[in-house]
Structure 1
């Protein structure tokens, strides 16, 4: 049975440090004391808590309806005399959804624990077939001592907290297009495709909705995409055992300001195997970079010495992950010192990328265990035996909103 060891448990009973065997003098702000000589934690009336030390105070389980799993929890008696422990289920009175007491069975009842002795308790958590999906919290308490904090209900002192996630295997998945970036010229269109697969036994309705500036916080230089720029073509539902493609057409008008725009598409999918309050899996992040094609080429000058054998111009165009649309390119003209225009010959084209073996939500192209991130393309132009003097390179970009250039000269 799978067990997840969570670093931060979303549904764990919040207990102060003293409740898990850390001792110290207790006041209204928490626990203080000398680490070398810890004092016994006390209640408001001055009485002492029993010194019980619970091992592995936090447990996180993931189970399907109808499944069960057993855990072991150890408690040590730190007193100089025998104490009575009574392991039982504690259900929080406030906070997250409480675990059902009848789901937890403990193999040890009330028992006497000698000084310095350790007791190992076996608890079995059994989720019934009709259990509601979601996260539950609870705890195994070892006696009836409790502690109060202002504004909070009383908590047991000596516990092992439980976080239980009841879930089924997902039946509806977004198999591609869950994240997308596109570059589009103002007045043009770009299409982003989203593929949804239904492995369940009942049809799943599809109801895409655009979430823009009224529901999303934007950081940096991102702006909200206008809902009027969208046209979504989607089926009414995804039939059992089938997959469907949703097409998102983004058409910024000719007067749209250039820049980066962002939106979230809520696909409106309901997976019977997922809790209703967790719908992030079917929300698509879409980033669109709007640009304007310049009327004139970019121009830069460079010097050529008399002993130069050739001059090479290398242009680099970025290809963002998940970029839709035509590939970038360039129209290049080199101008000699005497004003003659030379059509440079493109001698090389290079594609580069990056492959990740780790999970990455931005990866949109996959092949088995490999996530292939597109990187950049390089275009190399060369002229042989260039005349000495000042040259100019005129570069007209096509289908790219940014590029880099490098000019090298091989000298004899």
Structure 2
């Protein structure tokens, strides 16, 4: 819930209602009616988030919720009067970017029964922000015929904060909606939606697919980027290419079988979606430079994200098995390390020091954005932009992925 979706209540609350604005702001009756309405809307919004948290049945101290308090302040400048009634801050927000992205962790407080009871019945309507002056406009089709199914699953997921904007989309006068996207992130090489709903690309993947339909991803995007430049560097030495990067080549040409081997033969896990998810996390951590070796796996060496994933994921954590896993995965890690060095020298023309290798990611983000826009243009400027692809693509384009791969020269897969 790091994005605050402003809502408004179409009903007037009785003066004796425990959620009435005058109960929280008894001395502000002469303030402008718009400001009082904003305060009333904030009360109902925070009440709904509180209800969603306590409904899980977990102890209140374990119901941790990420919230951007500055977003609440932009909504209502004296928001703390309401916020402190419903929640307690356990960790103050930290700055994770150039914008006001300070994310705090809060937990719900215990409320009287007479306050909890009315919350469920309150209806909140999503309020879109003002239409932006600029941005890239992408056409999206909402699957409004699945309304009951989507809302039922959304309620079961506990994401009550998304209920109002989802209902707005499902009740939109037409199934066709234009989304506005603008550059985002420190490098301004990702895209985020700003209208009619901000940050829709961060919604759960199941919800995006249910609302907008299937999409297309850049297959193994980072590995594809690395190997594209490695192939150019080794154009005159194809034998050396296969000798030095066998796993990275197989991860692209025979991804399913390669992942199955790591899952079953190396990690000793059953081949299913949950365990393949562990394999994906391991491969991504290795691609990002996480260290791994037999010594690190058995507890001798520096901290490693990959080690934590393995220890928490595999069943047999005996020293002998961890050494075997470490030997195999360290070979993959070395291939990624070598590939980054090659890209550093051939693409960026700089010494492949550890510091300079970090610049490879900037180059990757540029490549990823260019590839994403190529896909977007090829599918008629439709869909929701996510970091490694496009969600919500019309069926006629999804049926011709091989044709898109051939025309764009980018490995693609259905999301």
TM-score, with normalisation over the residues of structure 1? 0.23
Larger Rg: 1
Structure (1/2) with the larger helix percentage: 2
Structure (1/2) with the larger strand percentage: 1
